[in-house]
Amino acid sequence: MKDLQAPYPVSEAEQGFFRERGYIKLKNVLPPELIDRYRNEITRVVLERNPLLQKPMSERTTYEKAFVQVTNLWRQNEVVREFVFSEKLAGIAAQLMGVRGVRLYHDQALYKEPSGGITPWHADQYYWPLSNPNTCTVWVPLQATPLPLGPLAFSSRSHTVEIGRGLAISDESEQLIQESLAAQNFEYDEGPFDLGEVSYHYGWTFHRAGPNVSDIPRAVMTIIYMEDGIKVTDLTREEHHADRDAFLPGTKTGDPAATEMNPLLYRT
């Protein structure tokens, strides 16, 4: 699968866009045949792990309605591991953030089912006990994703503000962060994704997604990168404990975030 390893030079304009706005969408990063192959395998793992699919939508919380979430698929499936270890995707992350190397924080599949709800406004790094802002996620839709499927949407430049960073994904975060971003006149970038198009966003960029009002699942794979050398911080939120145990096992405050769960995926 050379398309997963081929270098993808990121232009200075693209790096500037990402660092100023906190996100970027890039077209034609992955070819359709490659996405088909990995979609089948990723979907198989999601169905095997089946975390929520039995629970009726009407009985779920807002978080549970947003998506079925399965993490660290690379640990259980060799084919998905090839995808998560893509040097192309990791190299783009390193170039965008302007760092020499990136490690894996974790991967996750996010399937928004038909009739799945909104993904409320949030910033991911709320959950992560990591010592600096050089973290980002690549969001890879596994089909073309027009508005009815609930593509990821971003608040441009919002990684620069601290208001709202203390809110977990919830009805409250949707309302309060929306009000705060509107008051600051940040641009809202909500658009479809073509097949092969992917986005990257910083851990502190506020983002959300609409509901899935189509009749097919919105299948998405994500990979979360952190700068090589980033450290584990104090666990100041309840959620930090779960993340440290799951994704940084055995570490304590001040340790490098570099366990066997966090392989180096790219280095210049």
Ligand X SMILES: O=C(O)CCC(=O)C(=O)O
Least Cβ distance, residue 230 to ligand X (angstroms): 17
Nearer to ligand X, 92 or 209 (CB): 209
Nearer to ligand X, 144 or 267 (CB): 144
Least Cβ distance, residue 137 to ligand X (angstroms): 5
Phi, psi at 121, each rounded to 5°: -50, 135
Least Cβ distance, residue 183 to ligand X (angstroms): 22
Nearer to ligand X, 52 or 267 (CB): 52
Nearer to ligand X, 139 or 266 (CB): 139
Least Cβ distance, residue 259 to ligand X (angstroms): 22
Tokens of 47: 């169905």
Nearer to ligand X, 131 or 173 (CB): 173
Least Cβ distance, residue 250 to ligand X (angstroms): 25
Least Cβ distance, residue 209 to ligand X (angstroms): 4
Q: Using CB under 6 A, list all residues that contact ligand X.
A: 66-67, 110, 112, 119, 124, 137, 139, 152, 207, 209, 220, 222
In this structure, the number of other CB atoms found within 10 A of the CB of residue 105 comes to: 24
Nearer to ligand X, 97 or 110 (CB): 110
